[in-house]
């Protein structure tokens, strides 16, 4: 039976997905007076970052460090000794608390902006969105502007037995109900590094493998090497440049490496990539084009190949950061409705890896500066020499600055260590304002703080410049 006009709900904007891009895009439109609906298959808004990705992972990290005294046991000679069952219960409980709080914050934001939240599976029909609820009820939402922000999920390649109860991806690992004694993490990217660190802190024997020859390949090479060294010191075993085949043999889980080594872990975590949630949206019928990896193609204004339909966040591909997704959603909506507010996304986003220790980076790496033909210099300051780090017992890592040799302009910054993902915003601001390392030299920092290390990294760079000139 065809739908009648009365069956249709009319909005100025319908957003599919309540993750960072969807929520912030919807709020942007509603703030400027537009009638908005947000559709999500989950009754708990927030998308993957709130429910299965970033926030739960970071919560587990902080809980694991706190509950075990990881990294500080040798300083104070004490640690919390919880049994494995109690530990996993506390971890899951804390993650659930934070998930509930953050999802509640998203729900409150939608309500505050008078945005209707619709739960169900969405399918595009020209400039209509058909929503089918869990009970099978259908509803059509009609809007001249639609924002696709359905996010992503872990990649599940053929050949990995995810039906095995001890084989997990980065979503299902949150359902872990017992602490394994040993684990193989497949994937040496940010997610793999984070979970390898977390489970090592919890006392699990972790082996991390990847076909890549280096840990978190997009990092500055020196930073990647420093992170690798610290993770190995904490107990992670890294086997790089190999692939692994997962199977169960005679009741034992096995991972056969391409170098001939056989591992028999209690659990396997596959954490090697994500794919966009686009299959059931009816993109082809709506005329929305994708690339050969299923990522939605958009123009500079985040409009798809179909006028009035926009896309933002993980569904359009890299960098697939929650921070960037929020801005993409806002910018897309500003262009869609002609709102003179946000016209572009920050071209210089910071990156954060919430491993133990953390990593933060922004701007050029030393390798990218060299490959671009930039005449550059670097400056370093190690947290072993930092008073606040010594007090806290967190002396792992360093700050590395990349700068132009002629004008001392800051081009990139890289940090390994505690609070790296917070500290990285200081050099980000300097780069945004085309500042030089003199900013750090001339500034006065509280003592003792980790921020002091920026000054000494700048002095190190200045000394290197002077030595080159005098040489």
Q: What are phi and psi of 74, to 5 degrees?
A: -75, -20
**Confidence class for position 81, pLDDT limits 50, 70, 90:** low
How buried is residue 164: exposed, middle or buried, by Cβ count under 10 Å (0-12/13-18/19+)?
middle
* Beta bridge partner(s), residue 228: none
| Statement: residue 77 has pLDDT above 70 | no
pLDDT digits (tens, 9 = 90+) for 2-40: 444 444 689 999 999 999 999 999 999 999 999 999 999
pTM exceeds 0.85, yes or no: yes
pLDDT at 181 over 50: yes
Using one digit for the tens of pLDDT, what is the confidence trace for 360-416?
A: 999 999 999 999 999 999 999 999 999 999 998 889 999 999 999 999 999 999 999
> Tell me, what DSSP letter sits at residue 279?
G
Q: Is 421 in contact with 57 (CB distance < 8 Å)?
A: no
* Cβ contact 36:29 at 8 Å: yes
> In angstroms, rounded to a whole number, what is the distance separating the alpha carbons of residues 419 and 393?
13
Which DSSP helix (H) or strand (E) runs through 23? helix 20-31
Q: Which tens digits make up the pLDDT trace of 273-312? A: 888 888 889 999 899 999 877 789 999 999 999 999 999 9
Q: Residue 449, SS3?
A: coil
Q: CATH 3.50.50.60 occupies which residues in the chain?
A: 5-154+275-337, 167-272
* 59 has a pLDDT exceeding 70: yes
pLDDT, residue 48, reads 78
What was the pLDDT predicted at 7? 46
User: Once rounded to an integer, what is the mean pLDDT over residues 464-468?
Assistant: 90
Taking the C-alpha atoms of residue 147 and residue 340, their distance in angstroms, rounded to an integer, is 18
> Span 186-215, mean pLDDT?
95
Question: CATH for 5-154+275-337?
Answer: 3.50.50.60
Average pLDDT over residues 167-195: 93
Mean pLDDT over residues 426-431, rounded? 98
pLDDT of residue 82: 59
Taken in order 319, 320, 323, 325, the sign of the CA dihedral is positive
Residue pLDDT, tens place only, 106-159? 999 999 999 999 999 999 987 899 999 989 999 999 999 999 999 988 989 999
Contact indicator for 199, 61 with CB cutoff of 8 Å: no
292 contacts: CB under 8 Å, gap ≥ 6: none
Q: How many CB atoms lie within 10 A of CB 166?
A: 17
Of 85-99, 336-350, 417-431, which range is least confident? 85-99
Sign of the CA dihedral 157, 163, 165, 170?
Answer: positive
| Bigger pLDDT: 70 vs 219 | 219
Please state, in angstroms and as integers, the Cα–Cα distance from residue 290 to each residue in 62, 126, 131, 282, following that order. Answer: 38, 16, 22, 12
Superfamily of domain 167-272: FAD/NAD(P)-binding domain (3.50.50.60)
Quickly name the fold that domain 357-470 has.
Answer: Enolase-like; domain 1 (3.30.390)
| Average pLDDT estimate for 428-442 | 98
Best-predicted range by mean pLDDT (51-60, 168-177, 279-288, 363-372): 363-372
pLDDT value at 67 more than 90 = no
Radius of gyration of the chain (CA): 24
Q: Where in the chain is the domain with CATH 3.30.390.30?
A: 357-470
The pLDDT of residue 163 is above 80: yes
């Amino acid at each position: 039976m065809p739908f009648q006009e009365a069956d249709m709900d009319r909005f100025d904007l319908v957003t599919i997905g309540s993750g960072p891009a969807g929520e912030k895009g919807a709020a942007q439109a509603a703030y400027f007076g537009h009638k908005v609906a947000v559709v999500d298959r989950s009754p708990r808004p927030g998308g993957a970052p709130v429910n299965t990705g970033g926030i739960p992972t970071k919560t587990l990290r902080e809980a694991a460090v706190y509950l075990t005294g990881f990294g500080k046991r040798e300083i104070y000679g004490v640690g919390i000794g919880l049994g494995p069952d109690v530990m996993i219960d506390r971890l899951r409980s804390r993650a659930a608390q934070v998930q509930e709080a953050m999802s509640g914050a998203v729900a409150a934001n939608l309500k505050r902006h008078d945005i209707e939240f619709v739960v169900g599976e969405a399918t595009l029909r020209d400039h209509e969105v058909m929503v089918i609820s869990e009970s099978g009820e259908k509803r059509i939402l009609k809007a001249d502007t639609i924002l696709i922000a359905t996010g992503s999920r872990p990649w599940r390649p053929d050949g990995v037995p995810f039906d095995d109860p001890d084989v997990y991806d980065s979503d299902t690992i949150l359902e872990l109900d017992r602490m394994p004694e040993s684990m193989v993490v497949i994937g040496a990217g940010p997610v793999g590094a984070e979970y390898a660190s977390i489970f090592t802190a919890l006392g699990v024997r972790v082996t991390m493998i990847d076909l890549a020859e280096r840990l978190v390949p997009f990092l500055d090479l020196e930073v990647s090497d420093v992170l690798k060294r610290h993770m190995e010191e904490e107990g992670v075993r890294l086997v790089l440049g190999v692939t692994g085949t997962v199977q169960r043999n005679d009741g034992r889980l096995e991972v056969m490496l391409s170098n001939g080594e056989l591992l028999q872990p209690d659990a396997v975590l596959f954490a090697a990539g994500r794919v966009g949630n686009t299959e059931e949206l009816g993109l082809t019928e709506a005329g929305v084009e994708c690339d050969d990896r299923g990522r939605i193609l958009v123009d500079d204004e985040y409009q798809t190949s179909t006028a009035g339909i926009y896309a933002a966040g993980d569904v359009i591909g890299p960098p697939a950061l929650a921070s960037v997704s929020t801005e993409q959603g806002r910018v897309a909506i500003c262009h869609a409705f002609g709102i003179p507010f946000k016209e572009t996304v920050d071209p210089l986003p910071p990156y954060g890896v919430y491993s133990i220790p953390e990593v933060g980076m922004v701007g050029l790496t030393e390798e990218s500066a060299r490959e671009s033909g930039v005449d550059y210099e670097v400056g370093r300051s190690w947290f072993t020499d930092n008073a606040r780090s010594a007090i806290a017992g967190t002396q792992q890592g360093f700050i590395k600055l990349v700068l132009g040799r002629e004008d001392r302009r800051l081009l990139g910054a890289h940090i390994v260590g505690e609070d790296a993902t917070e500290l990285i915003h200081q050099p980000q601001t300097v780069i945004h304002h085309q500042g030089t390392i003199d900013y750090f030299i001339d500034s006065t920092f509280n003592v003792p703080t980790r921020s002091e290390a920026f000054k000494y990294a700048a002095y190190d760079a200045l000394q290197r410049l002077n030595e080159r000139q005098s040489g």
